[in-house]
Amino acid sequence: MKHYDVIIIGESAAGVVAATTARKYYPGKNILIVRDVLHVPIPCGIPYIYGTAHDAMKNLIPVENIEKSNKLEALVGKVEAIDKVNKTISICDDLYGYDRLVIATGSKPIIPPIKGVDLENVFVVEKNTDYLQKLYDELKNVKDVVVIGGGFIGCEMAEEIKKYDNNLNVTIVEMQDHLLKIVYDEEFCILAEDALRTLNINILLNEQVKELSGDKKIKEVKLVSGKTLKADLVVLGIGAKANIDLARQAGLEIGLGNGIKVNRYMVTSDEAIFACGDCADKDSFFDHKVSMLKLASIATMEARIVGANLFKYTRINRGVVGCFSTVLNGNVFAAAGLNEDEAARKGFEIVTGVAESINRHPGLMPGGQNLKVKLLFEKGTRGIVGGEIYGAYSGGELINAISAFISNEMTADEIVIFQAGTHPALTASPIAYQLVNAAENALIKLINDQC
């Protein structure tokens, strides 16, 4: 039996970052990273296989290069069991010992319990290159595509499939009254729907799937409302659940969100075993109740905590803020923290501020595009709890500043006077800088409300 200081199970976003962080903090330790697939897709890049990359093999994490540059041992194989008493994992008939174990097994797509999900040409968003390539190869043989689920994956898959062939009839079916409603306020949801409809993507809201029907292969999607949609191919994009099979088998405690229970140091119920990424349970930054968010940005944040904490605790997890971004029909949609609905559910009384301007000065500079920023502040403390952005590509980075503001509990007063670097070719004018002006507009409301 070979023994390692650290064994990491899983080599997607969380596993890779846990390994590279561990190497930085513990350069003398021997580290083994185990993955169960030869090629590891970039999770967030999966939709872009279909209309941009046109090949699943062009959307890969360069794991071999990472392993070599960080002096990591690597093994391709399926971990069949964890023995936490003897501190071993088993792969086939071989045992590997560890001092510290990291579980980064990620998530699995949710498959709804409806008739017909096992028909041919019904696909989920699986993190498997062969499977994803099969979906791509089938697109040349179909005419009607139905995407079930109007979250980020569903919207991105619909647009990229339409980009693959504009003649395809693409429909999104969403059970809520708006697409992307879990993240954005209504006005941003409507903008996203308009962006997709401009691409001739059909959107059905307030609709639930009753049944998928066909003779071996999918032919129709039947809705609870009585409507029937033609479908040669269906993509199920309704979310993901924590992959906890190994952890459950090992007897580790499972949390309220049905992920592996961890403390703020990312330690499981066994002090020698850590967990990070989609497989780990999560708490909200705002009220420390269960969060169901599963994002690569969260996974890598948790992995950096794990990698540093393996042999001495130096970092804590303060909870999930949630920072999102996507592009629909050339427009950025980004959000961080709470939207109005979620803030209300958590008991926050909020005030909002909005500012909109061209992201260059003067606006005729190359790359000039409108950028709208909405910020949410808690009334009592004036602290920022959320933000949303629409428009220019620069919003994809600007949302990270908002996430930093939230994480550091900055107030509207502090944001108004923070010093932002601006340049005509890069940003909005310092006079019209959206973050500052949105905060100022909210601050005026807060001040007036106290008068």
At 167-192, the pLDDT tens digits run 999 999 999 999 999 999 999 999 99
How far, in Å, CA of 408 to CA of 404, rounded?
Answer: 6
Report the percent of the chain where pLDDT is more than 70: 100
**Segments forming the whole domain that contains residue 233:** 111-238
Tell me what pLDDT residue 133 has.
98
At 225-245, the pLDDT tens digits run 999 999 999 999 999 999 999
Indicate if 340 and 423 belong to the same structural domain. yes
> Does residue 61 belong to any structural domain of this protein?
no
The contacts of residue 395 (CB under 8 Å, 6+ apart) are: 325, 332, 334, 359, 371, 373, 389
At 335-344, the pLDDT tens digits run 999 999 999 9
Indicate if 413 and 359 belong to the same structural domain. yes
> Does residue 7 belong to any structural domain of this protein?
yes
Give me the amino acid identity at 372. Answer: K
Q: Which of 221, 238, 255 is the last residue before a domain boundary?
A: 238
Domain count, the chain: 3
At 293-309, the pLDDT tens digits run 999 999 999 999 999 99
Ranges 21-30, 164-173, 357-366, 401-410: which has the least confidence: 357-366
Torsion of CA 277, 278, 279, 283, to 10 degrees: 80
The CB-side HSE value for 421 (13 A sphere, CA atoms) comes to 3
Tell me what pLDDT residue 106 has.
97
Residue 273: is its pLDDT beyond 70?
Answer: yes
CA distances from 144 to 48, 75, 117, 184, 445 (A): 19, 41, 17, 29, 49
Tell me what pLDDT residue 63 has.
96
Mean pLDDT of the chain: 97
> Does residue 6 belong to any structural domain of this protein?
yes
At 374-423, the pLDDT tens digits run 999 999 999 999 999 999 999 999 999 999 999 999 999 999 999 999 99
Torsion of CA 335, 336, 342, 343, to 10 degrees: -120
> Does residue 173 belong to any structural domain of this protein?
yes
> Does residue 359 belong to any structural domain of this protein?
yes
> Does residue 315 belong to any structural domain of this protein?
no
Indicate if 349 and 421 belong to the same structural domain. yes
Indicate if 224 and 247 belong to the same structural domain. no
Q: Tell me which DSSP letter residue 30 carries.
A: -
Tell me what pLDDT residue 241 has.
97
> Does residue 43 belong to any structural domain of this protein?
no
Query: Residue 386 belongs to a domain with what CATH number?
Result: 3.30.390.30
Contact 232, 147 (CB under 8 A): no
Residue 62: is its pLDDT beyond 70?
Answer: yes
130 alpha carbon, distance to own chain's centre: 22
Q: Which residues of 15-53 are buried (b: 16+ CB within 10 A; e: fewer)?
A: bbbbbbbbbeebeeeebbbbbbeebbbbbbbbbbbbbeb
Indicate if 358 and 279 belong to the same structural domain. no
Question: For strand 94-103 and strand 2-9, is the pairing parallel, antiparallel, or unpaired?
Answer: parallel
Contact 336, 398 (CB under 8 A): no
Query: Residue 104 belongs to a domain with what CATH number?
Result: 3.50.50.60
Indicate if 247 and 234 belong to the same structural domain. no
Q: Which of 204, 222, 238 is the last residue before a domain boundary?
A: 238
Residue range 65-81: average pLDDT? 97
> Does residue 95 belong to any structural domain of this protein?
yes
The structure tokens listed for 261 are 């229970």
Indicate if 273 and 226 belong to the same structural domain. no
Residue 451: is its pLDDT beyond 80?
Answer: no
pTM of the predicted model as reported, rounded to 2 decimal places: 0.96
Indicate if 168 and 207 belong to the same structural domain. yes
Contact 102, 262 (CB under 8 A): no
Tell me what pLDDT residue 448 has.
87
Q: Which of 238, 269, 289 is the last residue before a domain boundary?
A: 238
At 80-138, the pLDDT tens digits run 999 999 999 999 989 999 999 999 999 999 999 999 999 999 999 999 999 999 999 99
